[in-house]
Structure 1
Amino acid sequence: MTDFNIDAPREGAVFRAGEWRDVRGATGGLARVLVARWTDAAVTEAVDVSHAGHDGLHCVALTLRGASVRFVSNGQVVCDGRVPAGMIQITAPGTPVSATFHTAYDVLHLFVPQGVLAKCYEARFGQPHDGPIVLDDPRAFADPTVERLAQALALAHANDATVSHMFCESVTTAIVARLVAQHFSQSIMARIMSGKSPSSSPSRQLSPLPQWRLRRAIEFIDAHLSRPLTLEEIARSVGLTRMYFAAQFRRATGVRPQEFVQRRRVELAQEILRREQCSVLDVAMHCGFRSQAHFTTVFKRFVGRPPLVWRNSAVTAS
């Protein structure tokens, strides 16, 4: 992502935070997403910051430039080292966090009230969520769609510190909607793989793929990751047409079948990279990628780092 320089802010939808994760006294009753920019391009010594957590607000951190940082959430180290631009980290309400920045940093913080999460959930799944929504996975991850949206917001703010509330609300709503859909899709998949029924999030227009068909499709995908897979093949394995299967699969998981297949290929590649000393090309071929370049591109999109960089960090961590 591009690094942006900003002057002292004027009043607008995005404000430059004077303190880390500062929301200017906003409470959990906030009706819209509040956006703060935490940035310093001239760090000469380590910057230690901490926050006790916001009551009723999720904090979504979007990294605009790479930085060396140690981040701790609720007493657990989430990352300690170089964090590339484009990484995302979500802190649930009331979660104490701290960080030490060793280099220059530029981060957008989105403070998301429960009402916005609820609207995004209902728009995605066609019915209200039962109870408060909590996105409680503190691990950092990458998402190219969210990265581009964050970049657009940062660029607009760099060009005009008084960027309109309408533009800001549109972009932040798109980001939150994406994160909500991903969170619940992953929760559904975890339940299915553990033999439980998926949580109820059906659309009124089309029912999700039945659990038995979904499990069979996943088993078929996992058994054939080493070769090219077509949508027709997967649909045929569960006795459905290509279009109907794709629609029901997306209703059940929140992602397109092709995206799910790529994710499973990357997960398999991570297992091989972690336990075996084979070349990146061999891993790419074993996991069904058409070339090493294609594998590297897809791997970085899902994981946030190239395969070799990820392998080295995984080996060091173990």
Structure 2
Amino acid sequence: MKAIATPHWRLELLPASPYSVRYVVAENEIGFAYDCQTGEHSIGTDRRSSFKVRANSLAVRAKGWDIYSSSRRGGEYLRLICKDFEARRGCHDFIDERAAGIAHRLRRLLITHADTLDCEALVLALRDRVEGLSEARPEPVPDWITPQRLRRVDDLIDVRLSENLLVTDLAAALGLSTRYFSRAFHKATGRSPREYIIECRLRRARALIETTDHSLADIALECGFSSHAHMTSQFVMRLGVPPSALRSA
């Protein structure tokens, strides 16, 4: 099993293998089946019945449900537990093309051990997509981000930039749900909190490259990048040059 866990969400990629599990759902969770699966299951009862789920199908399980599931073959499966995911209703074997696209991108990131911030962007996108499928109409975007509050966000990022800082961490520090914070931040600044964190990392990295003799590997870690290679890819993608070009200029 491959997994990424933060204080606010946990993502698991379960292998295609036989299984038999029983558990009580601790937090609302989203499941995604990459393969067709058959077996036996029960939800909130001891009466078991056979099931068959299609490949690329969603499942939503609500907190407190008593789940039993077993399969002789199993199938590759993505499981997302998100603390602020609001499961308005459960579902099983539900197909949504956009959610499937996000789930497949998450699998690639898990397999390649990608940066947690990159994974979080897709985690939140999948959560919002699944929640949106059951919403009658979207909530209005709040006007929460004032100039004073944006400075507070900047201060939080500045203090914790060398850490594995996530959008969920910022929202929690401000006492807001991730969804509320992300929508308000985008409305006020025109970009997502994730993009803003990356911009701050790049800005600090450029300053350190140009004003210190620290190694590029050390600068990458000081600025919260997972590695020198990760910092280089962000420089090339967003600035068009590798960080080494700034030092040799």
Q: Considering the TM-score relative to the shorter chain, is it more than 0.5?
A: no
TM superposition score normalised by structure 1: 0.33
TM superposition score normalised by structure 2: 0.42
